[in-house]
């Protein structure tokens, strides 16, 4: 371990290392707070001045993150947010938490990581550790991050260090947070891995050290491909069982009683969130570069992508079975990608909304977490909408209510009493109710 590594290791051990976090979103903010609460000083970077200003005044703009934690970190002098990338030379550790979406061809859009790496390279100094947490394909740290950072004239492994540690955030999960989720860590070289392990072991309960950045990158993809494939499986089984008159949720309830060899996944209106609809395509893209065709993963993607169309077909059937929806009014319950969080990323609700409106329906939504529908990168052309109130008169005015996201705050008894028909994509309403159609 050279002098640069030794000096950084000592700063980390004594909690004197300043941590820089780029990207103050659903991953970056809880990570920053966890470091602050573990005795580190954090400098957060974001391109949005409004976010930086709000955080610097001790306020949270993310529903499930307690503003009191931010206020404490700011008042104790442990947290500061900025948009000034010239300050990237200040931190001893730089952690990258920027988006890695797909482009229009469903291939990796690495522009955020690339631009971030270029910003760091212009300010990189000796003795810094750069950790990528954004989900990506195996080889990103070696093939993309390292060459860009080395345009600084510094050499990875001696002048500065690179590691990968995939984020494992689950927004709104009351059981597991940043501190209590085991952290996978892999270095571009053993010294970088040692430094990253020393850093994260100060703030999380368990470190899972792997041999390389490639292995760590692959670990994250495996976790989410596993989920994507199993979600596709139960979604396909739902389609298989429907014409047989078999309720997939009843089948799952029975199968889940087996104490071994079964792990439950629930069907739904599609896939959503910042990982599951995206990560499998990162792996299939990388596999094609090696002359491989991961058919199983691609098939799972195809099944999940088609689920919103199935929901719309069920709405057509439930409202009369016609080819057109031009005279129908439809209310969507929930536009978040999962229950009880203000997180709309890649939610199937937007695809369902777009398909319904393309079919001629008039569509509104109710979601207690979104008074106004957020603008979405994936669905840029949807009209502006506001959440409608949920009362007897409102519910009864629609030809169909579609339960897309099962928020616990929704009064489902009121919906069942006054809706003409409810298309339930989550299996939470009584299947034998006269006005419930499961989809």
Catalytic residues: 275
Mutual angle of helices 3-13 and 190-200, in 10-degree steps: 10
Burial per residue of 396-427, b for 16 or more beta-carbon CB atoms within 10 angstroms, e otherwise: eebbbbbbbbbbeebebeebbebbebbbbbbb
Cα 29 → chain centroid: 14
φ, ψ at 228 (rounded to 5°): -60, -45
Contact 113, 98 (CB under 8 A): yes
DSSP string, 322-340: -S--TT-EEEEE--SSSTT
Contact 220, 276 (CB under 8 A): no
Burial per residue of 19-54, b for 16 or more beta-carbon CB atoms within 10 angstroms, e otherwise: bbbbbbbbbbbbbbbbbbbeebbbbbbbeeeebbeb
Mutual angle of helices 213-241 and 279-289, in 10-degree steps: 120
φ, ψ at 23 (rounded to 5°): 105, 95
* Alpha-carbon radius of gyration of the chain: 24
Measured from the Cβ of residue 14, the count of other Cβ atoms closer than 10 Å reads 9
Q: Among positive and negative, which fits the CA dihedral 47, 53, 55, 59?
A: negative
């Amino acid at each position: 371990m050279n002098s640069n590594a030794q000096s950084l290791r000592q700063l980390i051990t004594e909690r004197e290392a300043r941590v820089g976090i780029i990207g103050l979103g659903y991953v970056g903010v809880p990570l920053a707070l966890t470091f602050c609460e573990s005795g580190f000083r954090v400098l957060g970077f974001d391109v949005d001045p409004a976010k930086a200003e709000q955080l610097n005044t001790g306020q949270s703009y993310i529903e499930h993150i307690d503003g009191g934690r931010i206020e404490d970190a700011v008042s104790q002098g442990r947290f500061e947010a900025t948009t000034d990338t010239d300050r990237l030379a200040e931190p001893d550790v730089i952690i990258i938490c920027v988006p890695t979406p797909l482009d229009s061809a469903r291939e990796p859009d690495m522009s955020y990581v690339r631009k971030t790496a270029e910003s760091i390279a212009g300010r990189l100094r000796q003795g810094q550790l750069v950790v990528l947490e954004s989900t990506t394909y195996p080889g990103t740290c070696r093939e993309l991050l390292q060459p860009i950072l080395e345009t600084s004239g510094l050499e990875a492994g001696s002048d500065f260090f690179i590691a990968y540690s995939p984020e494992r955030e689950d927004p709104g999960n009351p059981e597991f947070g940043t501190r209590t989720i085991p952290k996978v860590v892999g270095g571009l070289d053993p010294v970088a891995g040692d430094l990253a392990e020393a850093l994260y072991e100060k703030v999380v309960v368990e470190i899972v050290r792997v041999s390389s950045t490639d292995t760590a990158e692959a670990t994250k993809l495996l976790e989410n491909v596993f989920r994507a494939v199993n979600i596709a499986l139960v979604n396909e089984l739902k389609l298989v069982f429907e014409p047989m008159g078999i309720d997939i949720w009843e089948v799952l309830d029975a199968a889940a009683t087996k104490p071994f060899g079964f792990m439950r996944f629930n069907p739904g209106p599609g896939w959503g969130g910042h990982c599951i609809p995206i990560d499998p395509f990162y792996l299939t893209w990388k596999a094609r570069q090696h002359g491989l065709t991961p058919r199983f993963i691609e098939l799972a993607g195809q099944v999940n992508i088609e689920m919103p169309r199935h929901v719309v077909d069920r709405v057509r059937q439930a409202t009369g079975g016609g080819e057109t929806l031009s005279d129908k009014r439809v209310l969507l319950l929930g536009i978040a990608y999962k229950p009880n969080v203000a997180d709309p990323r890649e939610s199937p609700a937007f695809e369902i909304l777009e398909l319904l409106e393309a079919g001629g329906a008039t569509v509104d939504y109710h979601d207690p977490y979104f008074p106004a529908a957020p603008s979405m990168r994936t669905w840029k052309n949807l009209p502006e909408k506001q959440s409608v109130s949920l009362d007897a008169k409102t519910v009864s005015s629609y030809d169909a209510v579609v339960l897309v996201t099962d928020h616990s705050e929704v009064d489902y008894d009121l919906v069942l009493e006054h809706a003409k028909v409810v298309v339930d994509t989550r299996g939470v309403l009584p299947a034998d109710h006269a006005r419930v159609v499961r989809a």
